[in-house]
Amino acid sequence: MNPISTLGFIGLGVMGEPMCRNLVTKTELPVYGMDLKPEPVERLAALGLKPSASIADVARESDLVFLSLHSPKSVEDVCGQIASSNGRTHTIVDMSTTPVKLTRELHERLAAQSTTLVDAPVAGLRARAHAGTLSIMVGATPEVFAAVQPHLAHMGEATYCGDVSFGQVVKALNNMVVFMTANALAEAITVGRRAGIDAKLLFETMSKGSSDSAVLRTQGLKHLVPDHFPEDAFPTDYALKDLRLALELAKDVGVNVPAAQHTADLLEATSRAGYGRNYYPAMVKLIEKG
């Protein structure tokens, strides 16, 4: 593993900006970064980020580059630009949610250009990104994991999941369970309300029993109970995209997952009904309508 003396960060969106902020303020190494929007770059530059004008500029200055991008196509395009820039980047850590198959393909392509790809998707909402307490699921060789883990530690707790792409496998299944749990809670709250039970009482009581979960306490109590599904949270369309990755993985390994498919169908209907930009527990609106 080549030495790491400079870092880069590409993608300073809702999650990427606070992740990069933690990196910039905690590491002793220089961090170069860029985003298509100037505002997050300016905010982080005030804290010590070294702004870069392009992806190639980041690659020319950074031994290791972190990615936090919104789509698989963006990940593929950025990886290609880094590899073809003739810069100093020898390791790319993809912290986006990327298909397992594409991660494996990119790993092979980049290896042919002497660049190592690490998959390190994250779990946790924006508050945990700001706090630097994200769960980070890593796919890499043990040697590479040992080299990148100290840098990931500035953003959260990194768990070694195994070979390249295994981080994405764990992330896809984590999200699958989260969305299915939100579906179950949406059904439970609708049944409870129809039966005359106060929704807050229902979920607070459930949180004291075996049905307790982080999803119940956040998506349930903070959003389903007050019927609050803002557009600036994790939207239905994003949830549907992520769940489709899990369905694709299940198909590839030959497993039938009807419960997950039901949740995907519900999310798709929720999007068609006009809630595509709303926080995804808005699926309850479709359940209420029958």
Residue pair 89/62 in contact by the 8 Å Cβ criterion: yes
pTM for this prediction: 0.94
Mean predicted confidence (pLDDT) in 262-287: 98
Q: pLDDT tens digits, residue range 135-157?
A: 999 999 999 999 999 999 999 99
- For the beta carbon of residue 146, count every other beta carbon within 10 angstroms: 12
Residue pair 6/25 in contact by the 8 Å Cβ criterion: no
Q: Which residue has the tokens 């995907």?
A: 264
Work out the burial of residue 272: count CB atoms within 10 Å of its CB; fewer than 13 is exposed, 13-18 middle, 19 or more buried.
exposed
Mean predicted confidence (pLDDT) in 127-133: 96
pLDDT of residue 233: 84
CA dihedral 120, 124, 130, 136 (to 10 degrees): -20
Q: pLDDT tens digits, residue range 208-262?
A: 999 999 999 999 999 999 999 999 789 999 999 999 999 999 999 999 999 999 9
pLDDT of residue 242: 95
Domain locations along the chain:
7-164, 169-289
Task: Look at residue 197 and give its three-state secondary structure.
Answer: coil
* Higher per-residue pLDDT: 290 or 114: 114
Q: Which CATH class is domain 7-164?
A: alpha beta
pLDDT of residue 290: 87
What is the average pLDDT score of the chain?
A: 97
- For the beta carbon of residue 226, count every other beta carbon within 10 angstroms: 10
Q: Which residue has the tokens 């195994």?
A: 162
Q: What is the rounded distance in angstroms from the CA atom of residue 178 to the CA atom of residue 152?
A: 23
Q: What is the rounded distance in angstroms from the CA atom of residue 70 to the CA atom of residue 65?
A: 16
pLDDT of residue 125: 83
pLDDT of residue 1: 78
Q: Which residue has the tokens 């169908």?
A: 265
3-state secondary structure 222-290: HHHCCCCCCCCCCEHHHHHHHHHHHHHHHHHCCCCCHHHHHHHHHHHHHHHHHHCCCEHHHHHHHHHHC
Q: Which residue has the tokens 């299915």?
A: 180
pLDDT of residue 288: 97
Q: pLDDT tens digits, residue range 155-210?
A: 999 999 999 999 999 999 999 999 999 999 999 999 999 999 999 999 999 999 99
Mean predicted confidence (pLDDT) in 255-281: 98
Q: Residue 113 contacts by C-beta under 8 Å, 6 or more apart in sequence?
A: 83, 84
pLDDT of residue 232: 76
What is the CATH code for 169-289?
A: 1.10.1040.10
Band the pLDDT of 79: cuts 50, 70, 90.
Answer: very high
